[in-house]
Chain A
Amino acid sequence: MKGISGSSLYEVSNGAISAVVSDIKKSEFVPDKSVAIDYAGVIDSLYLHSALLPMRFGSIMESSEAIVEMLERNSDEIRKNLDKVAGRYEFGLKIFCDSAKLKATLAATIPEIAYHPDEGNKNSVYRDWVNRKLAEHRLEELLLAHVETVIKEITSYLDRLNSINKFKKMLTETTVVDAVFLIEKEKKGELIDSIKELQTHYPGLSFVLTGPWPSYSFVDVTIK
């Protein structure tokens, strides 16, 4: 296995914890796409075989001695994080929807929230404007509540798999959920089955499950 730009990889260890590194001249380091792909390739090869904490892309230290000192200084946090990711893989779940279609479906369940233009001119133009905005606001709230319900159901499924989860909701108009899970390696099949089953409960949403990934989203170490 080679490091970035074909460089050789080697280990720098402090006790049972090792950093996988390669030598590079700081002045020659250009953080471009190909280098980022090389970096991801190294992590992709290593995480399948050992508990791994991906360092931030482009982390450069002066010497092997500095790396050993860094491992020593941060050993408690590193160990804690290694324990968290050991034997687990990260999986990603994105849920997409056609928000206009979904809002229409949700609105149909509560017809009274719909906006009805004031055809008899009983209201002022300002009051009519407020009524329209209020209907939009209620629909947004309805969509948000629906997304919360979906997340709650996913969480209850994942709890059975002893998963560690992170959710982001309503990222864009179409991406209603962007989640990552840290799950024991051998539970991959159960996860896929659970997501497939969940999808049947929400035909208006598109579920996309990816993985396994190195635990990029669950490393919580602030290097001292």
Chain B
Amino acid sequence: MSDNKLLFNTGSLNELSEEIGKLSENDESKLKLSPDNADSGLAKLVLTLIELIRKLVEKQAMRRVDGGSLTDEEIERLGETLMKLELKMEELKKHFNLTDRDLNINLGPLGDLM
């Protein structure tokens, strides 16, 4: 970016280029499917979708807990279910050698998936 396009910046230029880099290219957050890695590529894709749904369910559940519409018993059951889901997800990520960052696909101009 030429200097005259940068009108105001409170951080350093290095910080700025780092942040813009995160918004554009992020190799780790891309799905790479090829004949050589069909298994791991597919696992990443499937786990990404499961993780997205799990997080949405968790968010909705916390909204309901926060809203005060659940009984203590219901909160207990909800906690047990969601905690077990989280642990199972951790196991699957470990099994396929994936991290949270791997499952957070960068959608370009739309930002990160999660």
Point out residues on A near B: beta carbons under 8 Å. 91, 94, 96, 124-130, 133-134, 137-138, 168, 170-175, 178, 188, 191-192, 195-196, 199, 206-213
Contacts and interface: CB of A to CB of B under 8 A. Distances in A.
Q: Which of A124, A134, A196, A207 has the most CB of B within 10 A?
A: A134
Contacts of A128: 79
21 contacts: A94-B19, A96-B11, A124-B79, A127-B72, A129-B82, A130-B62, A130-B65, A130-B75, A130-B79, A130-B82, A133-B62, A134-B66, A171-B112, A172-B23, A173-B112, A192-B8, A206-B10, A208-B10, A209-B7, A211-B5, A211-B7
A178 B109 CA distance: 9
Interface in B23-68: 23, 58-59, 62-63, 65-66
B78 A171 contact: no
Nearest to A126: B79
Contacts of A208: 6, 8-11, 16
B83 to A, nearest CB: 5
B66 A137 contact: yes
A168 B16 CA distance: 18
A149 to B, nearest CB: 18
Contacts of B111: 168, 170-172, 175, 178
Interface of B: 1, 5-11, 15-16, 19-20, 22-23, 58-59, 62-63, 65-66, 72, 75-80, 82-83, 106, 109-112
A138 B19 contact: no
B8 A127 contact: no
Nearest to B106: A172
Contacts, number: 95
The SS class assigned to the B binding surface is: helix
A207 B78 contact: no
B19 A210 contact: no
A134 B23 contact: no
Given A96-B19, A126-B83, A137-B62, 13 more contacts: A126-B77, A127-B75, A130-B82, A168-B109, A171-B112, A172-B106, A174-B22, A175-B111, A178-B111, A192-B7, A206-B10, A208-B16, A210-B5
B111 to A, nearest CB: 3
Contacts of B22: 172, 174-175
Contacts of B72: 127
A123 B10 CA distance: 46
A61 B112 CA distance: 35
B70 to A, nearest CB: 10
Q: Which of A138, A199, A206, A208 has the most CB of B within 10 A?
A: A208
Nearest to B6: A210
Contacts of B79: 124, 126-130
Contacts of A138: 66
Contacts of A213: 5
A209 B62 contact: no
Contacts of A127: 72, 75-76, 79
B10 A207 contact: yes
Nearest to A125: B83
